[in-house]
A and B are shown apart, each in its own frame.
Chain A
Amino acid sequence: MTKNHEDHEKLTRAETEVLDDLFAGLRERRLDISPDLAGRVLADAFEASPAPSIPPVRSSLLPRLAKALGGWRGGVALASSAMLGVWVGYANADLVSGVDPFSDGDVVTETLFDPSATRFDEYILEG
């Protein structure tokens, strides 16, 4: 670009003032977003919306199991029953050794909780 050409392109102060004034007026002329356009843009946004990055919260197995068993009271009862079963199996195996597994269940129950079952009483008293 030659200096003469630069001089040719340079605006006079008057020209600059006129243009600046015209630009200022035209700046004020702005289109508003119509409700229709806003609706179309938002519809696109919702349709293109990525899946939520945070997966839905799922409770772990243990809390759900505890809830199904009746809460902490149910859990304690279940644990106590399990411990009793283990004790019966190891400490008093001879009490039920003669039980026919195919006989009536009442026989087993009566044998386990018969007050005459002295070894159980001794265990309770002596620990």
Chain B
Amino acid sequence: MMAFDGSGDVRDETLLAAYAGGDQSAARVLTLRHTGPCLNLAFRMLSDRGEAEDVAQEAMLRLWKIAPDWRAGEAKISTWLYRVTRNLCTDRLRKRRNIGLDEAPEPADDTPGVEVRMMEGDRHDALQAALETLPDRQKLAITLRHLEELGNPEIASIMEISVEAVESLLSRGKRTLANRLAGRSSELGYQS
């Protein structure tokens, strides 16, 4: 039985098939490759490391369980994992708010009274704080596009919406961020 050392560029599907065949060294490589992206997406969505770790573990567990039935060529494993992570995060956010996200109205871009927590001299904290004020779907689209650096078609697959809908979410999300950060340019180290 072939052992995988994690340094090669063996395809994910090959590794998953090997794991399904009983090769546990393949599981180690898949764990190293995919737990991190799941963890980071969950953390950016939930802003809680403990919850993000639970989500990442659950997403990977679902991968292990589906391994024997994985149909090669139908989806990228990374895309599938992002989708599972997104769904798990959505469930947790719903439980937090105790309302359905689909029914919840997205706040207007310039909702008065929404406080953006900007820490003096830390631009990244300012952006993170602004991101946390976005509606969940805008936040997810921007996170996948600008922080995970995925293409719009893959984001559309993860979010199960059209590419046009992704573009709209990105546009509105960035507009909102720009508005949130407006007036802070000099504070953030930028010239107006």
Q: Which residues of A contact B (CB under 8 A)?
A: 1, 8-9, 11, 14-16, 18-19, 21-23, 25-27, 29-34, 37-38, 40-42, 44-46, 48-54
Contact = CB atoms under 8 A, between A and B. Distances in A.
A33 B21 contact: no
A31 B51 CA distance: 13
Nearest to B126: A22
B163 interface: no
A104 to B, nearest CB: 62
B81 to A, nearest CB: 12
A42 B27 CA distance: 7
B124 A25 contact: yes
A14 to B, nearest CB: 8
B39 A37 contact: yes
A21 B178 CA distance: 12
A53 B52 contact: no
Contacts of A9: 171-172, 175
B64 interface: yes
A40 B57 contact: yes
Contacts of B172: 9
A55 to B, nearest CB: 11
B124 A29 contact: yes
A123 B11 CA distance: 74
28 contacts: A11-B174, A21-B123, A21-B190, A22-B123, A22-B124, A23-B147, A25-B127, A26-B124, A26-B128, A27-B147, A31-B36, A33-B35, A34-B53, A37-B35, A37-B39, A40-B57, A41-B56, A45-B19, A45-B27, A45-B30, A49-B22, A49-B24, A49-B27, A49-B64, A50-B20, A50-B21, A50-B68, A53-B22
Contacts of A21: 123, 190
Contact of B178 (A19, A37, A48): A19
